[in-house]
Structure 1
Amino acid sequence: MTLTQERQLILLKPEGGINLEFGTALSEQIATIEPRCNQLWVIDLAEVDFMDSSGLVPLIKGLMSARQSGCRLVLCNVQPQVKLILELTQLDSVFEIVPKYEDIICDTPGKSLAFTS
């Protein structure tokens, strides 16, 4: 898994499947992030080909942590198998999901990076 942390952008790129074991590692990775107000947290799921229900836990914890810190969390490049899990659990309406990483960067300059409800 890759973690890139700049001042206003956090990019996580997990690989493989997100199950109980890998979900724990992802949770630990997210916990190392030093949140700053108005950061953009991106989880690029391009290389994630499988996720079970235990893999949802780190994503939900990450979303809660981002929101509590005044940050915005976005999922991108969600593969069909993972998208199905998000849809079945109705979490596709909770997470901000965009098709490609480039769509986030192109869409962000005129907007606040922070989550707004």
Structure 2
Amino acid sequence: MSEFRDKRSGCDFEKIGVGERMTLVEQYEEVVLQPQGRLDTVGGEALQQQWATLAPRRYKVWIIDMSRIEFIDSSGLVALVTGLKAATEMGTKMILCGLRPSARLVFEITQLDRAFAIFENYEAITRSFGRTQEVLQAV
């Protein structure tokens, strides 16, 4: 595991895993997942595998940074809904951020924007709640 400073938020994170399709970073009691490319059948399966990896660690917040997702289909949505269900069952908060306009439209059309906490970017999350600890309690 290695430390790095995230340019988007200015926060120090600890990398806990980097793959071809996904980056995972950890800060305090939260984990930030950043899937990349297409969240389709293959990308959705990769994301679902991450839920199994995250569950035993008992983070209080899962932040899914969608800024590098170029395409999302129903398989990707199923993976995200599965993650939301798993997080909720464990008492973990799940937040999405960085949705591109096309992905945002998919969430609006399917009305999943009502099920997920969605923010413009990671900075917007910290601005809205002041700091990470407040995110844990307010979402």
TM-score tier by shorter-chain length is: 0.7 to 0.9
Q: CA deviation at 1:7?
A: 4.5
The higher relative CO (CA closer than 8 Å, separation ≥ 6) is in: 1
Unpaired runs of 5+ in structure 1?
none
Q: 1:112 to 1:79 in 2, by over 3 A?
A: closer
Deviates more, 1:57-66 or 1:100-109: 100-109
Aligned residue-pair number: 115
Note closer, same or farther for the CA distance 1:28–1:7 as it changes in structure 2 (3 Å cut): same
Q: Which of 35, 49, 56 in structure 2 is aligned with 1:14?
A: 35
Q: Which moved more, 1:106-115 or 1:40-49?
A: 106-115
Unaligned runs of 5+ residues in structure 2 are: 1-21
**2:104 is the alignment partner of 1:104:** no
1:20-31 matches, within 5 Å, as 20-31=41-52
TM-score by length of 2: 0.75
In 2, Cα distance between the equivalents of 1:35 and 1:114?
A: 19
Which residue of 1 is the match for residue 108 of structure 2?
A: 87
- Report the TM-score, using the length of structure 1 for normalisation: 0.88
Give aligned-pair identity as a percent.
37
Which of 53, 72, 92 is matched with 2:93 structurally? 72
